[in-house]
Amino acid sequence: MPPYTIVYFPARGVPPAPRGRQRAPMGTGQTLRLLPGLGGWGRCEAMRMLLADQGQDWKEEVVTKDAWLQGPLKASCLYGQLPKFQDGDLTLYQSNAILRHLGRSLGLYGKDQREAALVDMVNDGVEDLRRLCGHLIRHNYEKDKAQYVEELPGHLKPFETLLAQNQGGQAFIVGDQVHWGATHTLGCFTWALTLSALVCHPRSPRPCSRWPAGVWLKADLEL
């Protein structure tokens, strides 16, 4: 039995399930997987990527809209929302709290308190970027896209600066090894660049090149 369980809503994309992942759909309807794009980068994707990169096994329970609207599951969730994450007898909500828990338990929170503080700072910056992307897709994408593309380099500049300050941009945003915030950062960068309809903005960081992923995590990203 995998030690971790992720309970979440479906979104865009149709998956083959990568190694280590078991699906247990709840309710009725098609089981779908979260993918970057106009539909958004789902809150669970960073958890999946982090677990995958660390070679961990986990189970997924996919909740359909009909099952959610029935009420009992929603009432059982601490904040009335998903995702829900179970690690043995520990149940967590709030995606960033879940990522931080994985960071601590898997030894991915930086090598010292200084790096840990920087990882927290970067993740909060990623949340700002995520809100920007979410606002665009919830409003008029075609109308606002040009302004978004024009302003995107400025929103990515803080991350470029941090990359440049760490070994001349040849390492990670923080430190010299994978940390728990890296998957969230990578995911949101991918989403931001997809929304701009650019393969790689000339003034943006190239996050995929900073991720020394194993072959099957790389395949998972390319689905």
Per-domain boundaries in the chain: 4-105, 113-215
pTM (two decimals): 0.75
In this model, does residue 222 exceed pLDDT 60? no
* 162 neighbors 210 (Cβ within 8 angstroms): no
Q: Does domain 4-105 have CATH number 3.40.30.10?
A: yes
User: Residue 197: pLDDT band by 50, 70, 90 thresholds?
Assistant: low
Could you give phi then psi for residue 71, rounded to 5 degrees?
105, -45
Q: What is the pLDDT of residues 38-72, one digit of tens each?
A: 445 678 888 988 999 899 999 999 999 899 999 89
In this model, does residue 209 exceed pLDDT 50? no
User: Residue 146: pLDDT band by 50, 70, 90 thresholds?
Assistant: confident
Distance CA(172)–CA(166), nearest Å, equals 7
Distance CA(187)–CA(204), nearest Å, equals 14
In this model, does residue 29 exceed pLDDT 50? no
Distance CA(189)–CA(206), nearest Å, equals 8
The first and second tokens of residue 123, run together, are 């993740």
Widest CA span in the chain: 53
In this model, does residue 217 exceed pLDDT 70? no
Residues in the chain: 223
CATH topology of domain 113-215: Glutathione S-transferase Yfyf (Class Pi); Chain A, domain 2 (1.20.1050)
Q: Average pLDDT in the 17-24 region? A: 44
**Average pLDDT taken over every residue of the chain:** 76
Identify the pLDDT of residue 105.
95
Identify the pLDDT of residue 95.
92
* 99 neighbors 51 (Cβ within 8 angstroms): no
Q: Nearest-CA neighbor of 83 among 141, 42, 127? A: 42
